[in-house]
Structure 1
Amino acid sequence: MAPLPAPAAWSQPLPAAAPPAGMALYQLPTGTYETRAALAFRGGSFRDKRQFAATAVLVRHPKGDLLIDAGFGAGVAAHMLAQPRLARAPYRVTSTAREQLDACGYDLGGLRGVVLTHCHWDHVSGLDQLPVPIWINESELRHATERSDGAVFRAVAAGHELHRYELDGPPYLGFPSSVDVYGDGSVVIVPAGGHTAGSVIVFVAVPGDRRYAFIGDLAWQLDAITRRVDRPLLMRVLADVDPGRVRAGLLRLISLAGLMDIVPAHDRAAYDGIPRLPPVLGERA
């Protein structure tokens, strides 16, 4: 099966970033659900069962913390049942993001909100336990409020403050616009629509010159990056509102491979370099 055409590797300097010394990144794995590799990327095997991650990521920053996505919540059973029958899958729950934060003594008052890569149920379920603002752009909010795949979002977002942000900043790493959350280049959100109307990528630079790209469902597994393949045709039709935009975004990410850690939301191995929360989360350095 032929891979996608190889894009030219990114040859320009990476955008300036000055992550503060007190900044840190943690993964909060909330569970997994089972999907065949053949449904996840072109060339995958039906015999290869993948455990798709449902993981939130905590960004600690002196100007206030953020979660990237929310993982599974207390209502995950109902949220799974709300999906079309063909989309339901065996799943396993560990502990919710809220439970993990509480266990290490985290003060929710320091959490500015949850930045959603997009509005699908497996990214928003945990909002049911997180009484903090939801960061979402207008394109994604329209998708979430008007389309059937936003039903779980509408349920768990009820009563939440919505922080509507605009992607009106300069181009960033080949993407047409951006928003620099803290003004220091450490967390930059770019538009990557196509899976949903307003899907985004969250680029994070941490102290020590390490960078991450949290790409949501632009690709479901790292194989899409390493093999240069997109979703199978059936899944492109069923899962993406604009497969052409997804492919364009995927090729932009492939051009950045080797310059940063690319983290598809559902690839468990992609989170391996990110520490989990310690038993006691102390003050920032």
Structure 2
Amino acid sequence: MSQPETKPRSIAKQETDMNMSNPAQAVKPGPDELVPSRYALKIGDIDVLVVSDGVLPLPTKMLGYNADAADRAAWLNDMFLPPDAFDWALNVVVVRSGKQTILIDAGLGLDPELNLPRAGQLIKRLEAAGIDLGSVTDVVLTHMHMDHVGGLLVDGVKERLRPDLRIHVATAEVKFWEAPDFTHVSMPPGFPDALRAAAKQFRKEYESRLRLFDDEYEVAPGVVVSRTGGHTPGHSVVRVASGKDRLMFAGDAVFAVGFDHPDWFNGFEHDPEEAARVRVRLLRELAETGELLVATHMPFPSVGHVAADGDHFRWVPVFWDY
């Protein structure tokens, strides 16, 4: 199968295109931002902006709690990563297709009980990119874990959103959080309670704006959300397609370790065996089509391709376009 062409454009030009309020604001760096926090590219006629919500420090066992400790340590060593804990990236995507501006996931927000000061950066980074919250017409949630809905729960955010905002989420996801099952996860203390509380608060705050779908829904021209299950029952991925260009935002279906060890269970997976099957299926699809991949917890900006080598996969990051 021939590989589709992907055509990243210059960041400065793209950020001007993505800006929806003040053009000067899009290129004005914040005084405390020492590293880039957004990366722009073009998928055909569709604008895509990957935005960093910060990083989330977690124990390395979360990468594969069903793996032998020595194997996990060897992988971390090979990747030049610390043995005990490291920073998981948190990535969010903004898509503009036609007259619609779509926020895919909403970041962690601010939970003082968890003491995660380097996460929950989405709102200020959207502002730094010149993106007005009031310009967002749609939100797509890959699932309802706290680090995907929390940004909408930050004080003052709801009041800045459009009254006709549509929030798209799988029916199975909403149903799951009515009585969530945590029997198969392996999370650090405090996280199950925080996840339950965030999902409950989100449902209370945004029930009237939810637009539920069963398996697949076209949110905007060329922007389709599809339920995969696995990570959570309603976990979904978003495919962006225009012309010959393709990109998949895989949410939490793909993690950095999953290329070498797709059968390792992530501690946040509610159905780890199904999550592994979904991961392999998506990685095979991405390797066959050559389309771009972005995922929540891949290192920022998380834009790259997937190559297959038998039953193993390889991550091929794109060269940044300046």
Same fold at TM > 0.5: yes
Structure 2: any 5+ residue segments left out of the alignment? 5-42, 77-81, 181-192, 305-317
Counterpart residue type for residue 257 of structure 2: D
Deviations 1:70-121 (A, max 9, x none): 1132x2324x36xxxxxxxx6523x632222333443333312321111111
Counterpart pick for 2:293 among 262, 270, 275: 262
Which residue matches 1:252? 281
SS at structure 2 position matched to 1:271: coil
Counterpart residue type for residue 134 of structure 1: I
Quickly say closer, same or farther: Cα 1:108–1:270, change in 2 above 3 A.
closer
Residue 164, structure 1, aligned to residue 177, structure 2: no
Counterpart pick for 1:155 among 196, 201, 210: 201
Q: Judge conservation of contact 1:57–1:67 (CA < 8 Å) in 2.
A: yes
Counterpart residue type for residue 60 of structure 1: R
Which residue matches 1:201? 237
TM-score under structure 2 normalisation?
0.62
Deviations 1:164-219 (A, max 9, x none): 2323xxxxxxxxx522222x4x2111111122111111112356x44222222223
Counterpart residue type for residue 97 of structure 1: L
Find the aligned partners of 2:280 and 2:108 in 1 and give their Cα distance.
29
SS at structure 2 position matched to 1:194: coil
TM-score under structure 1 normalisation?
0.69
Q: Displacement, 1:56? A: 1.6
Q: Displacement, 1:30? A: 1.7
SS at structure 2 position matched to 1:106: coil
Percent identical: 25
Which residue matches 2:263? 230
Which residue matches 1:87? none
Find the aligned partners of 2:51 and 2:146 in 1 and give their Cα distance.
17
- Structure number with bigger Rg: 2
RMSD: 3.1
Moved over 4 A (4+): 11-14, 272-276
Q: Judge conservation of contact 1:24–1:206 (CA < 8 Å) in 2.
A: no
- Matched pairs, number: 232
Q: Which protein, 1 or 2, shows the higher relative CO under an 8 Å CA cutoff with sep ≥ 6?
A: 1
Which residue matches 2:34? none
Whose strand fraction is larger, Structure 1's or Structure 2's?
Answer: 2
Q: Judge conservation of contact 1:27–1:56 (CA < 8 Å) in 2.
A: yes
Q: Judge conservation of contact 1:178–1:188 (CA < 8 Å) in 2.
A: yes
Structure 1: any 5+ residue segments left out of the alignment? 1-10, 82-89, 168-176, 277-285
Residue 27, structure 1, aligned to residue 30, structure 2: no
Quickly say closer, same or farther: Cα 1:239–1:137, change in 2 above 3 A.
same
Quickly say closer, same or farther: Cα 1:269–1:69, change in 2 above 3 A.
same
Q: Displacement, 1:20? A: 6.2
